Structure 1
Amino acid sequence: MKLTVVGGGSTYTPELIDGFARLRGTLPVTELVLVDPAADRLELVGGLARRIFARQGHPGRITWTSDLDAAVDGADAVLLQLRVGGQAARQQDETWPLTCGCVGQETTGAGGLAKALRTVPVVLDIAERVRRRNPDAWIVDFTNPVGIVTRALLTAGHRAVGLCNVAIGFQRKFARLLGVDPAAVALEHVGLNHLTWERSVTVGGRDVLPELLAEHGAAVAEDLRMPRALLDRLGVVPSYYLRYFYQHDEVVRELRTKPSRAAEVAEMERRLLEMYGDPALDEKPELLGKRGGAFYSEAAVALTASLLRPAGGAGDAADVQVVNTFNRGTLPFLPDDAVIEVPAAVDARGARPLPVRPLEPLFAGLVANVTAYEHLALEAALKGGRERVFAALLAHPLIGQTERADRLTDELVAHNREHLAWA
């Protein structure tokens, strides 16, 4: 089994490698190729990846290259974890929206749109090159904004599934608080990527969410940086990304008075790359846990294994995993081609959303609004043009005012001109 990781020079990659090594019984990788245009980073990350495999006794072969076509040739699955423009672009995404009184964040609001505009054309080019060489290969997208990028891939007819670590992060956190095995915890995780709610937490066939909130609500609220009273009033656990919606103005005030997350991550990456260059290091360093992407490797291994499992026999039953895929009527108030993030049956045929209970108006209204924005964002990414960018920003629930949308449009184009073919 050959896997290719596009963006293999990322400091995230050792987390993924560690998962491949530990979970080789689930996903028996024989060849792993890391591809990235940054050859210097590849050398450091690739060397550590080989040492991790060796330490854990994994027999798989790891190579790295900057030649995308060679990297994806013969691959059974291609994992996408790229960042167009690097941390410098992220720094801009988190900064210039603040000058207009809007949250600066790389996947939400105006910064999220900028990232989508930079990313979608690049991802679609990669996907076309994968399809030309391996029409049956699966593409697993971890590249943000996952919902918009996955919608672009699926709309273009690619064999793709979007993946985020929010659901598995909640599963592991709740399991720890409840003192149970994570495998025993099932979530009713519903919404869009980075716009989801945990509506039930099932253990042993029983919904334990009410007692989880009653006994551990303060700890959950502290992790989310939301008021405990809000969780009690909602009766659900919102994704921490909903803080940008529920407490937007407070977040803007905070972001204006402290260093950006991009600056923190850039410094962390510098330190991590120094560590990766140590030939004695043969495991992922503790610092990597602060980089983000917790449990990404477990989620990626489980999803890829389900997609690549041979058909037929006792192991042919579909697995249930939280993924990003076409709505297909699951949320009836959304178009079928909207991309939602819900539990789905996953096997060699792809991901099929499982039925969900009707979504409460308090949540459904926001989901519908952001879905409309994502449709317009994809139009802007595919076709370009200032007016399409303006329309997407005007539709976003965190913006929604003509003067503000106009100003943000000018800022977005000015800061991303080198990545926009039409600008």
Structure 2
Amino acid sequence: MRIAFIGAGSIFTPLGIYTIATSEVLRNAEVYLVEIDDERRKFITALAEKMRKTFKAGFGVTPLESVEGLEGHGLDYAVISVEKERYERWKLDFKIPHRHGIRQVLGENGGLGGLAHTLRVVPLVLEIARRIEDINRDAGVFIYSNPEPRVTYAVLNYTGLKNVYGLCTGYLERKEMLAPILKADEREISLIAGGLNHFTWIRELHVKGEDAYPRLDEALKKRPDFEPLSQLLYRTYGLFPSPDDNHIGEYLSFAWPLIPEEKKGLKWIERTKKEGEEVRRLLRLFLRGLVPKFAFNRFVKFPDVAMNVVEGLEGVEKLQEAINVPNRGYIDLPKGTIVEVPAEVSPKGIKPLHVELPREALVPLRVQAEIQRLSSEGAVEGNVEKVIKAVLLDPVVHDAEAGLRAMAELMRAHLDALPQFDEGDIEILRLMAFS
């Protein structure tokens, strides 16, 4: 079994390697760590070697500087988690629209920031995907790179790869947040949810197999401060959303005033950056032998999502509670939209499950489904007309002129990362704003 982590310096990779090291099914895999940054490549290689020895696993470790290096090795599974100058560019994705009065909560996966993010990341991942296609078009490919469903849509529609899945830890984060409210261990919580990535509706919620919605109802009566946006949506539609207020809020016009300051904008970006640095600090301590095996085991509450799926495909049948796949009737949304649903995983393959949602709850998802298509296609094709349509469809764009001017400024700021666009495309946006 040959598994490549592409963008191996990502925060997702250590958990993936840990899952391999502690899995009876995966512990003898050949692991390829593809990372262009020398320092990060050396660190993750040393960490993988340390985990192999600590957990007495038999997997092999091969560091590589580029995807091309995989050609001599072959490939069964690839995990893609690449980004370019993530935090510096994310700050621009938030600040520029904000200057134009666009109140987007995060500017990472939705809003104009999410659109600019899509235009940058899609070409980056598509180039990698085409290299994988040359090596093994039947490989299982798992995408963590955000905006994850839009990137997944592009790879599925513009390459010959068919076994492509978008993955996210959002459903696990929702369990973590609900655990104290439900007075339960997060590992005792299970859920069935459906929708779009970062905006799903929890159809079934259980603690130790028992319906936990009544318990949630009682708990929320005592906690009006807990996720006011999610509570509003729950009272309105009868289903609690996932993963949390600031992620859901990226897709709703009325979210901004409901989200606390510390959970949006630049404060959230800095918090996310610091959390990543704290995880890396712990990993450095583990590498130095200052975090013992038992403590590391306690720290890791859930397996890596990608390796959990691979484990299922390689023999351990399981229910994967959230996976992003092209819609084939799983939800009442347009065919081909990348939707997030549960799936049964076994050596026979991945079988997504149908999730029935109330008609009204589907309406905001339908808008985002169209933005997903337009932004992905616009990113691949360098099609500024599709970018304009995505801007004017977005619920957080309160004013057409402001939205188009902000998008023109965003594209100019990131033009060095947008090889599919040029100054002429930016001029079209600018002229549209003043027409």
TM-score interval w.r.t. the shorter chain? 0.7 to 0.9
The equivalent of 2:428 in structure 1 is none
RMSD of equivalent CA atoms: 3.2
Alpha-carbon distance between aligned partners in 1 of 2:171 and 2:220, rounded to the nearest angstrom: 18
The amino acid that maps onto 2:156 is: L
Determine the C-alpha separation between the residues in 2 that align with 1:352 and 1:377. 27
**SS at 2:361 equivalent:** helix
The verdict on how the C-alpha distance between 1:336 and 1:75 changes in structure 2, with shifts beyond 3 A counting, is same
Q: 1:242 aligns with which of 248, 263, 273?
A: 248
Question: Residue type of the partner of 2:310?
Answer: T
Q: What's the TM-score once normalised by structure 1's chain length?
A: 0.84
Shift of 1:234: 4.0
The one-letter amino acid of 1:198's match is I
Paired residue for 1:372?
A: 370
Amino acid at match of 1:237: F
- Other-structure match for 2:355: 356
Which residue of structure 1 lines up, in the alignment, with residue 130 of structure 2?
128
| Equivalence map 1:19-418=2 (5 Å) | 19-22=19-22, 24-71=23-70, 73-102=73-102, 103=104, 104-155=106-157, 156-158=159-161, 159-171=163-175, 173-174=177-178, 178=182, 185-203=189-207, 206-215=210-219, 222=226, 224=227, 226=229, 228=231, 231-239=234-242, 240=244, 241-244=247-250, 245=252, 247-250=254-257, 254=261, 259-266=266-273, 280-281=288-289, 297-309=303-315, 319-332=319-332, 334-348=333-347, 350-357=349-356, 359-399=357-397, 401-418=399-416
Q: 1:379 to 1:366 in 2, by over 3 A?
A: same
Question: Aligned residues: percent identity?
Answer: 25
Query: In the alignment, residue 82 of structure 2 is paired with which amino acid?
Result: L
Rounded to whole Å, the distance in 2 between the matches of 1:305 and 1:259 is: 38
Partner SS, residue 304 of structure 2: helix
> Is residue 179–residue 189 contact of structure 2 (8 Å, CA) maintained in 1?
yes
Which sections of structure 1, spanning at least 5 residues, go unmatched?
289-293, 310-314
Instruction: Find the aligned partners of 1:37 and 1:7 in 2 and give their Cα distance.
Output: 8
Alpha-carbon separation, structure 2, partners of 1:248 and 1:183 = 30
Question: 2-side partners of 1:187 and 1:138: how far apart?
Answer: 25
Q: Distance in 1 between matches of 2:292 and 2:4?
A: 20
User: 1:217, 1:231 within 8 Å by CA — same for their partners in 2?
Assistant: no
Query: How far has the Cα of 1:283 moved from its partner?
Result: 5.1
User: With structure 2 as the length reference, what TM-score do the two structures score?
Assistant: 0.82
Distance 1:342 1:267, change over 3 A: closer
Give the Cα separation in 1 of the matches to 2:342 and 2:361. Answer: 17
Aligned counterparts of 1:69 and 1:303: Cα–Cα separation in 2: 25
Quick check: 1:98–1:256 contact (8 Å CA) kept in 2? no
**What is the DSSP-based 3-state SS (H/G/I as helix, E as strand, rest coil) of the residue aligned with 2:195?**
strand
Alpha-carbon deviation of 1:420?
1.1
Q: Which ranges in structure 2 are unaligned for 5 or more consecutive residues?
A: 423-435
1:147–1:339 Cα contact (<8 Å) kept: yes
8 Å contact kept, 1:325–1:341? yes
Task: Give the residue type in structure 2 aligned to 1:362.
Answer: E
SS of the equivalent of 1:95 reads helix
2:396 aligned counterpart, secondary structure: coil
Contact 1:394/1:405 (<8 A) preserved: yes
Assess, with a 3 A threshold, how the Cα gap between structure 1 residues 355 and 91 changes in structure 2: closer, same or farther.
same
Aligned 8 A contact 2:229 2:255 in 1: no
Task: Summarize the Cα distance change of 1:152–1:218 in structure 2 as closer, same or farther, 3 Å threshold.
Answer: farther
Q: Aligned partner of 1:420: which letter?
A: L
Instruction: Tell me the distance in 1 between the aligned counterparts of 2:2 and 2:263.
Output: 45
Note closer, same or farther for the CA distance 1:100–1:121 as it changes in structure 2 (3 Å cut).
same
Instruction: Label 1:271 to 1:231 Cα distance change in 2 as closer, same or farther (>3 A).
Output: closer
Distance verdict in 2 for CA 1:147–1:29, change over 3 Å: farther
SS of equivalent to 1:238? strand
Segment of structure 1 superposing worse, 274-283 or 92-101: 274-283
> What is the rounded CA distance, in whole Å, between the counterparts of 1:251 and 1:331 in structure 2?
28
1:393·1:400 contact (CA, 8 Å) conserved in 2? no
SS at match of 1:94: helix
Closer, same or farther: CA 229–89 of 1 in aligned 2, 3 Å: closer
d(CA) in 2 for partners of 1:328 and 1:7? Answer: 30
| Counterpart Cα distance in 2 of 1:369 and 1:92 | 25
Q: Which residue of 1 aligns with 2:18?
A: 18
